[in-house]
Amino acid sequence: MGLKYRTYLNGTGIFCCKKCKTHLSSTDAIISRQFQGQHGQAYLIKYVVNVDHGESEERNMITGLHTVRDIACSKCKTIVGWTYVKAVEESQKYKEGKFILEKALL
């Protein structure tokens, strides 16, 4: 494996891992603040940096069945949210390829 470089985001509205302060995304990437995670309020985000992806798994959520992958901080390995791989419901397809970051973990 090689040396992993972390991305540093410029600007003022930066989301960081609560545990190690690694940059994860910015407020410019927020699509919606009206989401719930396992730890309370969460954000639907367009892009994230400095994360590792877990294995795909199906989860039954409030909005239906989704295929998701957990995302973890690439430095400290804390799970900070998940990414939507596939949504079964047609009305939920807009989430595919997007990310959830949990506010309590930022």
For the chain, what are the domain ranges? 14-105
Q: How confident is the model at residue 1 (pLDDT cuts 50, 70, 90)?
A: low
CATH topology for the 14-105 domain = 2.170.150
Whole-angstrom distance, CA of residue 9 vs CA of residue 87: 30
Burial (0-12, 13-18, 19+ Cβ within 10 Å), 61: middle
Per the model's pLDDT, the better-predicted residue between 3 and 99 turns out to be: 99
pLDDT tens string 37-84: 999 999 999 999 999 999 999 999 988 999 999 999 999 999 999 999
| Nearest-angstrom CA–CA distance, 68 and 60 | 10
* The pLDDT of residue 4: 78
pTM: 0.91
